[in-house]
Amino acid sequence: MTALPATTEKKLGLVIDLDTCVGCQACATSCKEWNAGGYSAPLTDQQPYGADPHGAWLNRVHSYDVGEGAASRTVHFPRSCLHCEEPACVTVCPTGASYKRAEDGIVLVDPDTCIGCKLCSWACPYGAREYDYGHGVMKKCTLCVDRIYNAHLPAEDRIPACARACPTGARHFGDLGDPESVVSQLVAERGGFDLLPEFGYKSVNKYLPPRPRCDALAADAPSASPPRQARDDAGSGAASSSTERLFAWVDRVLSR
């Protein structure tokens, strides 16, 4: 019901590293803080100090166990709008409030024309759309459109608040439509992947997979490293050097 641009000049988005995300929630809270006063303002909270506190968030971080037993690992999964190339949340919108920008591909909601019907939140398979109960309209990640072009901010702050806040460097911002960009190169190096590609919405954000583990539990890791050769002062690597014998003696004495 709302049209998509035929092409976009850029494909701005995020690359999120599931290997280095530690689930600290800094991205979620910095997003909430920025947008409490920014483009999506206000992001309301219901019963903030009550029995069932719930509010509108544009970015949430979930934590999952992957695998079983000692070989399992915890994966922290930040989830926000993926600014898809062909998003169903736009085409389903009855009023035109939900739209995709031709200049950079950012998907936004115009709060003035949104009627809060929630069709977009049903259409989005990623749960990226939240209804703001205090405002009556739909909210979603804006890719910090009000930061990235804001000449009044220092240059290093002209990226999304979440990327700025991440303490482990797990969030990267850039043009996924430019194969030479840092983010595109990261995706190529690390095998960045789409979420739920079978829906065909062509998500722009990419996730970098957790790296394979390299400790003793890894499938082809050696079970024990070879014993380290002690070296004498000349560094010749000869076994049973005088230094080695000295340390062996000290070890015996101290163990008495």
Partner 1 sequence: MAPGKPLPGPHLGFPTGPDDLLVDAKGTPQRIDKAFSWDAPFSAHGMMHMVIANAARGDPYAIDVLFLYMANMGWNSAMDLPATLKHLTDRDPTTGEYEIKRIIYSDAYFSEMVPYADLILPDTTYLERWDCISLLDRPISEPDGPADAIRQPVVKPDRDERPFQDVLIDLGARLKLPGMVKEDGTPKFPGGYPDYIVNHERRPGIGPLAGHRGKNGGDFGRGEPNPRQLEQYIAGGCFHMHHLPDHMGYFRHANRDYIAWALDKGFRLTPTPVIFQLYSEPMQKMRLAARGHAAVVPPEAHRARIETYFDPLPFWYPPFEGAAPEATEFPMHAITQRPMAMYHSWGSQNAWLRQIHGANRLFMNRSRAVALGIADDDWVWITSRIGRVKAQVKLIEGVNADTVWTWNAIGKRSGTWGLAPDAPEATRGFLLNHLIAELLPEQPGGYRFSNSDPVTGQAAWYDLTVRIEKAAAHEARETSPRFEPLVAPPGLRTTPSPRLRHAEGVLSARREGRGEGQLQASAQASAPSP
Q: List all residues 6 or more positions away from 247 whose beta carbon is below 8 Å from its beta carbon.
A: 230
Q: State the Cα–Cα distance between residues 82 and 75, nearest whole angstrom.
A: 19
Chain residues binding partner 1 by CB under 8 A are 22-25, 28-29, 32, 34, 36-39, 41-55, 57, 65, 67-69, 72-74, 108, 110-112, 134-135, 145-147, 149-153, 157, 161, 164, 254
Q: State the Cα–Cα distance between residues 127 and 136, nearest whole angstrom.
A: 17
Residue type, position 4, single letter: L
SS3 at position 26: helix
163 phi/psi in degrees, rounded to 5: -70, -35
Order of strands across the sheet that contains 171-175 = 171-175, 12-17, 206-208
Q: What does the block give as tokens for 32?
A: 């909430």
Q: State the Cα–Cα distance between residues 151 and 158, nearest whole angstrom.
A: 8
- Considering the complex, state which of residue 32 and residue 172 has its C-beta at the smaller distance from partner 1: 32
Minimal distance, residue 192 CB to partner 1, in Å? 25
- Considering the complex, state which of residue 72 and residue 242 has its C-beta at the smaller distance from partner 1: 72
Residue-wise DSSP of 201-212:
---S-EEEPPPP
- Considering the complex, state which of residue 54 and residue 202 has its C-beta at the smaller distance from partner 1: 54
- Considering the complex, state which of residue 94 and residue 197 has its C-beta at the smaller distance from partner 1: 94
Minimal distance, residue 70 CB to partner 1, in Å? 8
Q: State the Cα–Cα distance between residues 173 and 239, nearest whole angstrom.
A: 54
Minimal distance, residue 87 CB to partner 1, in Å? 18
Angle at 112 between CA 139 and CA 134, to 5 degrees: 50
Minimal distance, residue 236 CB to partner 1, in Å? 25
Rg (CA), the chain: 25
Minimal distance, residue 231 CB to partner 1, in Å? 20
Minimal distance, residue 206 CB to partner 1, in Å? 25
- Considering the complex, state which of residue 141 and residue 187 has its C-beta at the smaller distance from partner 1: 141
- Considering the complex, state which of residue 62 and residue 202 has its C-beta at the smaller distance from partner 1: 62
Q: What does the block give as tokens for 253?
A: 């004495």
Q: State the Cα–Cα distance between residues 121 and 131, nearest whole angstrom.
A: 8
- Considering the complex, state which of residue 129 and residue 206 has its C-beta at the smaller distance from partner 1: 129
Minimal distance, residue 17 CB to partner 1, in Å? 17
